[in-house]
Chain A
């Protein structure tokens, strides 16, 4: 059973517009969420995170929103740039001592069109 779901395998957005990437989770014990960005032939790099006690976290052009009741989070990129074209992974961490493990979604490939 997939606990972290990214239902859109791909997304195309025009440069300058907003990109919205979505992620749903099923495990109510998840208490921390992260977004990673991955370019081809490179390892994933950490982008932004949010704790379950918050509903929004912002870092420059990137904002993550968390709706706990809906078990849904989204990553907004405004304005989108061609360099944002990459695969984005949503990840979640379970609560409890020593729970460093993350569960990843399958990823969404974002293409920003110049």
Chain B
């Protein structure tokens, strides 16, 4: 069982380009989340999905979009990347009724 996988591991991207970060879980968890981690700011929620077909905005959603077509996949898209989106991005999931979230290994994104 892999848990949560994220791709790519790291990416350098030119400003203005479109980028999709992939996240897949094999635990059949209902809820999934995207966070960004920045030095001195901790983990901040970007978007979440409580169940397939639904999504919601977190603390810092601007410039990002998500979709949840099925239980396992929760891609995060940057439509037009900007340097302030340079960060480490973590995907997480949790089971219905549980607050314990399980995190993927992260994607390190640099926007130049």
State which of B13-21, B66-74, B76-84, B100-108 sits at the interface with chain A.
B100-108
**Please, which residues of chain A bring their CB within 8 A of the CB of B101?**
46, 100, 102
Q: How large is the interface on B (under 10, 10 to 19, 20 to 34, 35 or more residues)?
A: 20 to 34
- Interface of chain B: mostly helix, strand, loop or mixed: strand
What 0/1 readout, one digit per residue, does chain A (22-51) give for beta carbons within 8 Å of chain B? Answer: 000000000010101000011111100100
Interface size on A, residues (CB 8 A): 23
Is the pair B58, A34 in contact by a Cβ cutoff of 8 Å? no
B38 to chain A, nearest CB (A): 10
CB-based contact B100/A44 at 8 Å: no
Report yes or no: B105 in contact with A42, Cβ–Cβ below 8 A. Answer: yes
Q: Which residues from chain A contact B87 at a C-beta distance below 8 Å?
A: none
Q: Would you list the 4 A-B pairs with minimal beta carbon distance, nearest first? A: A43-B103, A106-B42, A104-B43, A93-B99
